[in-house]
Structure 1
Amino acid sequence: MIAALFAIFSGVGIIVKFIKSFLVKYVGFAAILGFQFAITASTIAFVLGFYAFIITSLVTAYNFGVSTAQYVSTGGGGQSQILSCFMSMLDLVGVTGALNNAYTMFFASLSTIALFHLMKFTYWAVRQIGNELFKLGVLLGQALS
């Protein structure tokens, strides 16, 4: 009877050790790998979303400035005759053309500064993504060994 109990507990102990080693080796790595894949994918998605936001913001700001200048220069919105005459006089003298050119040059300068900051962000993002991919490679190497 004692020998049978000893055999049963030994068999159960071996099964528990096998399940424990299986859980530690495969399920633990699977959970960590899944988490690391999620971090890597979210980093890449954040970078792409940020690029889309910056480009869309720059295009929207430029279009807003151009449409506002066109709205004012054409006398939109039912402006009075005095304001329309004043805008025509500014157009005749060349002030509106100068302001349009100045806005274009200002926006080009603003875009250049934004581009330099975007390049700095790109350097940071590539380092982060490379770091995450390296961690992923190390984890995959450990899981497959």
Structure 2
Amino acid sequence: MGGVPGPDAGAGSVRPGAAGGSFAAPGVGLAGGHIVSDGMADNQLAKIERSGVGERVDACCVSGEVGIRKPDVRIFELVAERCGTDLTAGGWMIGDSPDHDVAGGRAAELRTIWIGRQQAWPRGEPQADRTVPNALAAISLLLDGSG
């Protein structure tokens, strides 16, 4: 399994505190993932372009562009479709929002990584599969195969 840095990553790199939802496709390294991001299309797409992340992924799907927001499973289905696959291929949802990223990943039947930044998990919410302090740790977890 592989992952991609979120759209808040620094230009051409991943900042340790970077976040942003990203759906990672199976069987890939940093290239080949898919980004799912909530927000206004112009803002989010500009972040993705400035960071260089857009060049490293197969597709991006921004809620402001498609009218669907996480945790709605349809946004995950749409980005998978844009890459010629579907959610049955599996993958990971990496993000910092229990309500949007983790809940959305679970709804899409993806495994989840929560970027918790040393925060406590909200009571009553189903746990993420893994918890890490930052985006670099999430990517490392996937790349070393322990995800």
- TM-score strictly above 0.5: no
- Looking at secondary structure, tell me which structure has more helix per residue: 1
User: Whose radius of gyration is greater, 1 or 2?
Assistant: 1
- Looking at secondary structure, tell me which structure has more strand per residue: 2
Determine which structure has greater relative contact order: mean sequence separation of CA pairs < 8 Å that are 6+ residues apart, divided by chain length.
Answer: 1
* TM-score under structure 1 length normalisation: 0.18
